[in-house]
Structure 1
Amino acid sequence: MAAANYLPSEDQFLCSICLDVFTDPVSTACGHNFCKHCITEHWDRSDIYQCPMCNNEFNTRPELHVNTFISEMVAEFRRSAQQKASSSSSSSEQQVFKPGEIHCDVCTETKLKALKSCLVCLTSYCETHLEPHLTMSGLKRHQLIDPVENLEDRMCPKHDKPLELFCKTDQTCVCMLCTVLDHKMHDVVPLKEAYEGKKAELETESQQMIQKRQLKIEEIKHSVDLSKEEADREIAEGVQVFTALKESAERGQANLINTIKEKQKTTENQAEDFIKELEQELSELKKRSSEVEQVTHSEDHLHFIQRFMSLKVAPPTKDWTEVSIHSSHEGTVVRAVVQLEETFSKEMKKLLEAELKRVQKYAVDVTLDPDTTNPYLILSDDGKQVSHGDVKKNLPNNQERFSYCNCVLGKQSFSSGRFYFEVQVKGKTKWDLGVARESINRKGAIILSPWSGNWTLRLRNGNEYKALDDPPVLLSLKSRPQKVGVFVDYEEGLVSFYDVDAAALIYSFTGCSFTDKLFPFFGPGLNDGGQNSAPLTISPVRVN
């Protein structure tokens, strides 16, 4: 009964090993008390049997029995603390556990919402059952966190100890036993230190990601502004060109109508003059016919003969056999359309010159990649020229090199945006030029076509130009290009070729689908005994 009326301080009921209230307390021969589980486990890990408090050694492992007196005192102490906690919290209504929330592991009937989880006890507590952790000095040392699920995951699966350390070497959470067994000599720090480091790293990384995306937003906005300016400029140029064409067409139409009307008026006037002259002659002929009729009815032969001679020579008549009215409109419309076409060509040339200037703004510095060069090709030291030689060089057969096709790629690759480069083709009778995707076949024959990853222009026989589309397109060019410009818009799926000197568009591949890196593609063609010895030369871009 004395134990029920008087309770010692909490510190007298704490195990010196686990620092918690005794569970199944046992006493050693030296008079010190421990949890039965704690002292048993302590001796299991040691080769000698000694008291953890006074280091008193025992020759043999002591047989342990629960100290019933202390056990009853501890039980009474727990009941008292529980009642105290219940009475102190009875005035406040606690929240009942709801689906999706963490519940108290101690509540037996109505599960209440957990306020905290203990990383030492691996238990979640409601407000009532949390009270001992807030009032008892031994339990105050336990680490409390906001309620979480699966607290058993916080125990080492191998040693059944709390995961309270972090191995920086293996980047994993470990327990105390792991540091002396599996992670010996590793860089191990407390979880809190690792938490602070990882938190700072994550915050830094997060800030960097935020900054990158903010910069990307500004970049996109700036691109939109530039695109709008370019769109407005192109609209203005387009309106100007179409206005000029429309005005030219209207002038041509007006001139055509006036010309035809004037010619028709001339024809009508000529016809009126002819009709007037014919009517006058017709009148005279009718008068003469009347006189002839009078003479032919006379029986006076002398008078008839005398009148016959005068009627025979008069009136003088015109020979109308070759006289006719011809339409003079033929060819008028054709000439007007030809003139309109000339105007259209002039305006088209202006547009193409402006277009070429725009794409030249995306000029890039391209150099040839010697690691991709076919062994029969000759590269200049600066990587700007390539031609075909007659002798095969002994080069490493690396994965990037073209072993069959006489071609070479540029060093630079592009997987977004726009780019432009120019190549001098002067003096050559054959060449292949364009872009190719990274996955192009390097070790066998290549059929140059978009489906095989090539978008190229080809010259053969000195003047036979083809766009190697699917199917290939034979081109009819007004002049032989001396310098070819290649422009690519990756996102739009566009590859265009220009005659730089003539500022003319040669051909455009449209609707292309680019999925991997693109490389400039060069094929100088066979040497042909010196007839095609001129090199393909990458030229610096100069805006006209």
Structure 2
Amino acid sequence: MAAATSLLSEDQFLCSICLDVFTDPVSTPCGHNFCKNCISEHWNIAVQCQCPICKTLFYTKPELQVNIFISEMVDRFRQSAQQRASSSRSEQQAAKPGEVPCDVCTGTKLKAVKSCLVCLVSYCETHLEPHLTASGLKRHQLIDPVENMEGRMCVNHNKLLELFCKDDQTCVCMLCTILDHKAHNVVPLKQEYEEKKAELVKTEAEIQQMIQKRRLKIQEIKQSIKLSKENADKEIAEDVHVFTKLKELVEKYQARVITVIEEKQKRTEKQAEGFIKELEQEISELKKRSSDLEKLSRSEDHLHLLQSFPSLNAAPPTKDWTEIGVCQPSYDGIVRTAVVQLKETLKKVCPEAELM
């Protein structure tokens, strides 16, 4: 029985009057099944006892008995549906902040997957199943889950907002078109939706074009930056090359200037050392003569003093140092001459040096 029940769909257990699963199912003489209460109330209101499905006319009201077989099948189907629902609920996720919760769930609210514009209710996957299987509910319009379904009702007439007033650019219900918007240009909500959607598509296409243009501009700017970087690197390399040459030449001519100055200084020092050596030599001779004179002046040998006097009385021959001195070397023009030579050399080696 369980295997057989699993092969049946919910449509086979729905009452065609209430569109819900059978409650106390009964069979009419023509073989159709209904909820006992549904068919009883239908015949109480109707003028004639007629089958709602095949329109078979009964001249006397049939005596209805609960169909035990169908009742058992319904019970098993309900148990199976509850098990599937329980399993499905365990696999579904609870609604997170910002997500639309199911309006039917009790306890933990599961995430809604659809909202019904007829029922004004949002359903999770489990509670949505009747809308996907029941023939009466299949006609309901389902949309992606949205919050505040009450906001889709007219606040003045408590009717579904299913029209759009172009004059006032607002959504209205059927009663609004008769009362408040009687002479206005009113169209179905779907028609306005299609027009606005077309406008949005056009606007979105324009925005995409704007985005594309800006992306191309970004690429253009990046390419400019790349070229600028390449030019900068090239210029830096050339500048480094030029200034390296310039530095080498400056160092070369600087070394020349230093060499000239040092050579002049060395010649000056050599001259001074010659003068000092000559003076020291004369000092040595004068000291020797002074010592000889001192000894002779202390001598008591009359003959010796008289004989030595002529040779010792005069000062030894020496140079007149009055006008003699070390000449300070002149460095005037050395740097200027070197700079002129450097510029001439730079003009040959580095044409850029013309700007100097």
Place the TM-score, normalised by the shorter chain, in its bin.
0.5 to 0.7
2:116·2:141 contact (CA, 8 Å) conserved in 1? Answer: yes
Q: Aligned partners of 2:24 and 2:308: how far apart in 1?
A: 189
- Tell me if 1:89 matches 2:81: yes
Pick closer, same or farther for the CA change 1:134–1:282 going to 2, 3 Å. Answer: closer
Q: TM-score, normalized by length of structure 2?
A: 0.56
* Alignment-derived partner of residue 307 in structure 1: 310
| Alpha carbons 1:295, 1:307 under 8 Å: kept | no
Aligned to 1:225: 226
1:527-542 map, 5 Å: none
1:331-354 per-residue CA deviation (whole Å, 9 max, x = no partner) reads 799x58x959x97xx99xx69x8x
1:13-32 to 2 correspondence within 5 Å?
A: none
CA contact (8 A) 1:89 1:127 kept: no
CA apart distance, 1:152? 1.5
1:94·1:112 contact (CA, 8 Å) conserved in 2?
no
Q: 1:5 is matched with which residue?
A: 27
**Which of the numbers 95, 111, 117 marks the counterpart of 2:115?**
117
Matching of residues 188-207 of structure 1 within 5 Å: 190-194=191-195, 196-201=197-202, 203-207=204-208
Does residue 150 of the first structure (1) align with residue 148 of the second (2)? yes
- CA deviation map 1:392-425 (0-9, x unaligned): xxxxxxxxxxxxxxxxxxxxxxxxxxxxxxxxxx
Shift in Å at residue 213 of structure 1? Answer: 4.5
In structure 2, relative to structure 1, the CA distance for the partners of 1:142 and 1:84 (3 Å cut) is: farther
Name the counterpart of 2:209.
208
> Partner letter of residue 116 of structure 1?
K
- Code of the residue aligned with 1:156 in structure 2: it is C
| Residues 281-290 or 213-222, more deviating | 281-290
Alpha-carbon separation, structure 2, partners of 1:86 and 1:110: 22
AA of the residue aligned to 1:261? E
The CA deviation at 1:211 is: 1.6
Q: 2:184 aligns to what? A: 184
Call closer, same or farther: CA 1:222–1:267 in 2, change over 3 Å. same
Letter in 1 for 2:262: K
Q: Which residue of 1 aligns with 2:318?
A: 317
Amino acid at match of 1:105: D
Q: Is the Cα contact below 8 Å between 1:295 and 1:304 reproduced in 2?
A: no
* 1:365-376 equivalences in 2 (<5 Å): none
Structure 1 residues 205, 307: closer, same or farther in 2, change over 3 A? same
Shift in Å, 1:235:
2.5
Change (3 A) 1:285 1:129: closer
RMSD: 5.4
After TM superposition, the structure 1 = structure 2 runs for residues 324-335 of structure 1, keeping only pairs within 5 Å, are 324-328=325-329, 335=335
Quickly say closer, same or farther: Cα 1:83–1:274, change in 2 above 3 A.
Answer: same
TM score, norm. by length of structure 1:
0.39
Cα distance per residue 1:27-64 (max 9 Å; x no partner): 9x9xxxxxxxxxxxxxxxxxxxxxxxxxxxxxxxxxxx
1:195-238 alpha-carbon deviations (Å, 9 max, x no partner):
53145235414532542353244234313312321331342244
Q: 2:95 aligns with which of 91, 96, 99?
A: 99
Q: Give the residue type in structure 1 aligned to 2:140.
A: H
Distance 1:107 1:286 in 2: 134
Cα distance change, pair 224–176 in 1 and its aligned pair in 2 (3 A): farther
- Give the drift of 1:144: 0.7
Contact 1:98-1:113 within 8 A present in 2 as well:
yes
Q: Secondary structure at the match of 2:88?
A: coil
Counterpart contact for 1:164–1:191, Cα < 8 Å: no
Residues 167 and 186, structure 1, Cα contact 8 Å, conserved in 2? yes
* One-letter identity of the residue aligned with 2:161: L
C-alpha displacement at 1:165, in angstroms?
4.3
Q: State the SS of the aligned residue for 1:95.
A: helix
Give unmatched runs, 5+ long, in structure 1: 14-25, 30-78, 354-502, 504-544
Q: Does 1:263 align with 2:264?
A: yes
Contact 1:85 1:129 in 2 (8 A): no
Amino acid at match of 1:146: D
- The structure-2 alpha-carbon separation of the partners of 1:174 and 1:201, relative to structure 1 and needing over 3 Å to count, comes to farther
CA distance in 1, matches of 2:120, 2:76: 23
In 2: Cα distance, 1:224 partner to 1:133 partner: 60
Contact kept in structure 1, 2:27 and 2:34, CA below 8 Å: no
Higher alpha-carbon Rg: 2
1:98 positional shift: 1.3
Identity over aligned residues, as a percent?
Answer: 51
Contact 2:95 / 2:101 at 8 angstroms: preserved in 1?
no
Instruction: Give the equivalent residue in structure 2 for 1:469.
Output: none
Aligned-partner residue type, residue 185 of structure 2: M
2:146 match: secondary structure: coil
Conserved in 1, the CA contact under 8 Å of 2:113 and 2:122? Answer: yes
- Residues 480-516 of structure 1, C-alpha deviation per residue, up to 9 Å, x if partnerless? xxxxxxxxxxxxxxxxxxxxxxx9xxxxxxxxxxxxx
Q: State the distance in 1 between where 2:152 and 2:118 align.
A: 10
User: Does the 8 A contact of 1:85 with 1:128 survive in 2?
Assistant: no
Q: Is the 8 A contact 1:86 1:128 kept in 2?
A: no
Query: 1:295 and 1:169, CA in 2 relative to 1: closer, same or farther beyond 3 A?
Result: farther
CA distance in 1 between partners of 2:203 and 2:268 (Å):
94
8 Å contact kept, 1:119–1:144 = yes
User: How far has the Cα of 1:137 moved from its partner?
Assistant: 4.4
SS in 2 for 1:124: strand
3-state secondary structure, aligned to 1:236: helix
- For residues 177 and 208 of structure 1, do their structure 2 counterparts lie closer, same or farther at Cα, with a shift above 3 Å needed? farther
CA contact (8 A) 1:179 1:188 kept: no
SS at structure 2 position matched to 1:148: coil
Q: Map Cα deviations across residues 111-159 of structure 1 (whole Å, 9 max, x no partner).
A: 5554421112101234554454334544332211233322112233344
Output one character per residue of 1:243-301: Cα deviation in whole Å (capped at 9) or x when no partner: 24532452354234313321221112212332344355456656766776788767579
